[in-house]
Amino acid sequence: MEDQDNTRKRRYEKPEITQVDLRPEEAVLAACKASTGQGGGGPGGGNCRAPVPCSSLGS
Amino acid sequence: MHLRVAGFTIHIAHADRSWPIAPAAAASAFLVDPAPADVEITVQVGRCEAPAGAPVFESGGSWRLFRTADGYRFSFVSPRSSAPYKIADFTPDFSSGRITLHEPFFAGMPAIDPLEYPLDELLIISLLARGHGVELHGCGILDDQSGCVFVGQSGAGKSTIARLWLEDERAVVLSDDRIVVRAHADGLWVYGTPWHGEAPLASPRRAVLKQIFLLRQLDRHALSALSRTDAVARMFAASFPILHDAAAVEFTLGFLDRVAATVPVRELGFAPTRSLIEFVRSA
């Protein structure tokens, strides 16, 4: 019985920290979107009203 | 006007026909016949004033969020107007709302989209974060009656992948930039959205979610396993969480964990060649 318990145990894995990049301007919809405006997006295109430059597209 | 995005039916009521409303081009594919709505919105034209008090959230872009006695208030600003050009008030559960369009800003426009980006997407992610799913920065493909999602931040190659699949007659591109994942009684589903990328590709269709790939540009195709923790972390980094709401963030993380426990989530290194399609189909 004791041997069966040991084989079921998982190997110990030391906890590791993994860093993942978060792009806040994309995550919070602060950037322009290519789909804005009836004429399409892009720098100065469509009717994107965001104050940030449309070159910072969020896609 | 009725729209359906990611399974949410939105009814927009506008009584003043002197200010015609119409969806943006990409959203027009999401128009539906009148149906019971999940969200009821009324639109009015008037004067907007900057909300009082400090915002709950400052996006750093065109919008800010305030709490009100009745719920939430989004305020949208532009260099072209000293006053907000649009104010959107919603109940706490986002089941109803009122949009006020600043008359001087919209005067002379042939048609107005009250839900013009980013408000439409803000509404959907607010609904999703309240127990309904998650939106991912990803390209969604319907292939042979099932869906796969290619997740990545800007520049990862989502639109490139979408264009490759576009050439395949068996596949439908749900979106080249934003997809929604929701859980229903019969499993996880992936939805297309109006918020396309450079491609531009947006479909109101949906598919049963089969697998998720986290993108990495490489000189060849290669699949790598990921720990569940890494998969959740990387999907979270490519999602649109409601960062000012701890309960919403908790739900989003839990939902992504459920996704990672339900479907394969792996890293896909890829080269932008058509052979990628068969590589993914055999994965």
Judge contact between B189 and B209, C-beta under 8 A.
yes
The token pair at B21 is 């409303």
CA atoms of B219 and B223, how far apart (whole Å): 13
- In this structure, the answer to whether residues B166 and B214 fall within a common structural domain is yes
Half-sphere exposure of B171 (CA within 13 A, CB side): 23
Asked if residue B235 and residue B266 are part of one domain, the reply reads: yes
Can you give the residue range of the structural domain that contains B66?
2-128
Is some CB atom of chain A closer than 8 A to the CB atom of B195? yes
Residue B31 gets which letter from DSSP? Answer: B
| Tokens standing for residue B13 | 């009521």
- Dig out the tokens for A26 from the structure: 């994309």
CB B3 within 8 A of CB B10: yes
Query: Is the CB of residue A23 less than 8 Å away from at least one CB of chain B?
Result: yes
pLDDT of A42 above 50: no
Least CB–CB distance from A26: residue in B57, B154, B194: B154
Q: Does B233 touch chain A (CB under 8 A)?
A: yes
Nearest by Cα to B202 from A33, A27, A30: A33
pLDDT at A34: 55
Same domain, B72 and B8: yes
Residues of B in contact with A29 (CB under 8 A): 59, 61, 63, 117-118, 121-122, 125, 240
Give the tens place of pLDDT for each residue, B227-237: 999 999 999 99
Give contacts of A20 with chain B, Cβ < 8 Å: 233-234, 236-237
Confidence band, pLDDT 50/70/90 cuts, at residue A19: confident
Residue B121's pLDDT is 96
Element of type H or E holding B128: helix B119-128
pTM for this model (two decimals):
0.89
Q: Tell me how close the Cα of B229 comes to any Cα of chain A, in angstroms.
A: 9
**CATH number of the structural domain spanning residue B147:** 3.40.50
pLDDT in tens, B128-166: 999 999 999 999 999 999 999 999 998 999 999 999 999
Q: Do A40 and B200 touch (CB under 8 A)?
A: yes
Residues forming a β-bridge with B65:
B57, B74
Q: Which of A54-58, B19-23, B117-121, B173-177 has the lowest mean pLDDT?
A: A54-58
What percentage of chain A exceeds 90 in pLDDT? 2
| Cβ pair A34, B159 in contact under 8 A | no
| pLDDT classification of A1: cutoffs 50, 70, 90 | low
The answer to whether A45 faces chain B, any CB pair under 8 Å, is no
Query: What pLDDT does A43 receive?
Result: 27
Q: Which of B63, B125, B219, B39 is nearest to A31 (CA)?
A: B63
Residues B220 and B248 both lie in one domain: yes
Q: Among B14-23, B108-117, B191-200, which is the least confidently predicted range? A: B14-23
B163 touching A, CB under 8 A? no
- Residues of chain A with C-beta less than 8 angstroms from the C-beta of B23: none
Span B40-52, mean pLDDT?
93
Computed over every residue of chain B, the mean pLDDT equals 94
- Interval B46-63 mean pLDDT: 93
Domain boundary among B128, B158, B182: B128
CA distance B218 to chain A (A): 19
CA quadruple B41, B46, A35, A23: dihedral sign? negative
Same domain, B121 and B78: yes
Give the integer Cα–Cα distance in Å for B233 and A21: 10
What percent of chain B clears pLDDT 70, i.e. is strictly above it? 100
Same domain, B79 and B170: no
Do B94 and B6 reside in the same domain of the chain?
yes
Same domain assignment for residues B185 and B85: no
Dihedral sign from CA coordinates of A17, A21, A26, A30? positive
Using a CB-CB cut-off of 8 Å, the residues of chain B touching A57 are 154, 198
**Residues of chain B contacting A44 with CB distance shorter than 8 Å:** none
Of B110, B128, B146, which one is at a domain's C-terminal end? B128
Cβ pair A18:B229 closer than 8 A = yes
Comparing CA positions, the residue from B208, B206, B210 lying closest to residue B172 is B206
Q: Is A15 on the interface with B (CB under 8 A)?
A: no
The number of domains in chain B is 2
Is the Cβ pair A59, B158 closer than 8 Å? yes
Give yes or no for a cis peptide into B79 (omega within 30° of 0): no
Residues B241-251 have a mean pLDDT of 96
DSSP state, residue B267: E
pLDDT in tens, B269-279: 999 999 999 99
Q: Are B27 and B121 members of one domain?
A: yes
Query: Does one domain contain both B77 and B213?
Result: no
User: Band of the pLDDT at A20, cuts 50, 70, 90?
Assistant: confident
Q: Same domain, yes or no, for B112 and B16?
A: yes
Q: Cα–Cα distance between B174 and B171 in angstroms, integer?
A: 9
